[in-house]
Structure 1
Amino acid sequence: MSSDYTPSPETAALFARYKRHLLAERELRQAVKDAAPAEMRAGGTVSDLAELTGMTREVFRRIAREHEIDRLRPPTHGKDAPPPAS
């Protein structure tokens, strides 16, 4: 199915810019994930890396678990957290 739609020059430029950034992000994502374990072992926290990259903290938590990187503090939420005090 084909259409004869043609965006305005401003919209076409916006879409092209978005596509360039999306492709660049896809290209860099794996390199960032590969560098993360060494940075966490060097003292970078999940929050530090999330703030520096714009990725979520959970991305880096998963990387840390996958690479068996020790936590800097005990968990406060989730299945590994201690039960609440009564």
Structure 2
Amino acid sequence: MIGKLIGAFVGDKIAKQTSGVSGASGAVMGVAATTLLRRMSLPAILAIGAGGYLAKKAVDKQQAKSGSGDTRPPATSTAPKTS
């Protein structure tokens, strides 16, 4: 019971920092995550963690290749530069 409460609290806090996820749905995901982790074996948890790490690296590499990771603001003027 305490594990579910902690999972709900952590899920709520993470949801507040993530766009598109409300606090209540984050709490539900936190409870579901703690329940699933309790029922999974250690090799399965490690495999999921490694898969998530590799997927994130692949997405970051794809974004770097496509140039969508550019953090410069867009140009707001089309007038020629005057120096």
Do the two structures share a fold, i.e. TM-score over 0.5?
no
TM-score of the aligned structures, taking structure 1 as reference length: 0.34
